[in-house]
């Protein structure tokens, strides 16, 4: 669609969260260095990221909080809302369903799936659970574009393959497994084991 870098997309998502806080604080203007301090980015990165989405500030007042938030939303959000499916209704899957329940109106987990049919036919935080055999049908019926994988590592690649065959092009993977996907499928890796090991390493290394 365009060539905005992956890092910029991630930071824009962070900036939007900060701006929501600033809006509730009735702050109308904000400077790049303020956003930098709150987000961990540098002021130059912040300004470059805003330039990337075509939003300009003024040298007198910095950036208009409300307009900037709308500009980021217009860039990050799809024109109409996007639907998400979660596969693997274990502890972690249920925690994620709870976490995202009603959090973002444009991005909704509309269905959860599990290989174990006894976990289906439940409703968790307003999200209906289906047996995995219904996956492809529901992805098409509910126009699902994004998948979240919270199954054990041994099943992750198989679930991933099913998602890709169903047409999903964006995947968030919590499973401890490296997924093999076609180049047009984007995988976000949230590997808790790797992160914990890194934190432990740097806890004594630094």
Q: With CB under 7 A as the contact rule, which of the stretches 26-34, 116-124, 126-134, 193-201 interacts with DNA?
A: 26-34
Q: With CB under 7 A as the contact rule, which of the stretches 53-61, 111-119, 155-163, 176-184 interacts with DNA?
A: 53-61
Number of residues that bind DNA (CB under 7 A): 22
In the chain, the largest separation of any two C-alpha atoms, in whole Å, equals 61
Nearer to a second copy, 44 or 196 (CB): 196
Using a 10 angstrom Cβ sphere, with 0-12 exposed, 13-18 middle and 19 or more buried, the burial of residue 14 is middle
Q: Are 154 and 162 in contact (CB under 8 A)?
A: no
Nearest one of 123, 120, 92, 95 to 110, comparing CA atoms: 123
Which residues contact a second copy (rule: CB under 8 A)? 1-2, 6, 9-10, 13-14, 17-18, 38-40, 76, 78, 82, 84, 90-92, 94-96, 98-100, 103-104, 107, 145-146, 148, 168-172, 176, 178, 184-188, 190-206
Instruction: Give the count of beta carbons closer than 10 Å to the beta carbon of residue 202.
Output: 9
Rounded CA Rg of the chain: 19
Applying CB under 7 A, among 16, 19, 22, 57 the residue interacting with DNA is: 57
Q: What angle do CA 149, 73, 144 make, to 5 degrees?
A: 35
Identify what 99 binds: DNA, a second copy, none; CB under 5 to 8 Å per kind. a second copy
Residue 5 found at the interface with DNA (CB under 7 A): yes
Q: Which residues bind DNA (CB under 7 A)?
A: 5-7, 31-33, 42-45, 47-48, 50-51, 56-63
């Amino acid at each position: 669609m365009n060539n905005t870098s992956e890092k910029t997309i991630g930071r824009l998502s962070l900036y939007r969260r900060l701006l929501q806080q600033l809006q509730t604080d009735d702050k109308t203007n904000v400077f790049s260095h303020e956003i930098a301090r709150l987000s961990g980015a540098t002021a130059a990165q912040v300004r470059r990221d805003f330039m990337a989405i075509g939003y300009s500030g003024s040298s007198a007042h910095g950036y208009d909080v409300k307009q900037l938030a709308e500009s980021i939303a217009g860039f990050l959000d799809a024109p109409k809302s996007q639907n998400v499916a979660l596969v693997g209704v274990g502890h972690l899957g249920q925690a994620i369903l709870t976490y995202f329940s009603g959090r973002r109106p444009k991005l909704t987990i509309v269905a959860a799936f599990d290989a174990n049919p006894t976990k289906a036919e439940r409703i968790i935080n307003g999200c209906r659970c289906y047996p995995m055999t219904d996956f492809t049908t529901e992805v098409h019926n509910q126009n699902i574009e994004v998948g979240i994988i919270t199954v054990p590592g041994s099943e992750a690649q198989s679930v991933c393959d099913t998602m890709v065959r169903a047409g999903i092009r964006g995947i968030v993977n919590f499973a401890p497994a490296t997924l093999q996907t076609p180049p047009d499928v984007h995988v976000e890796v949230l590997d808790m084991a790797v992160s914990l090991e890194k934190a432990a390493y740097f806890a004594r290394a630094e």
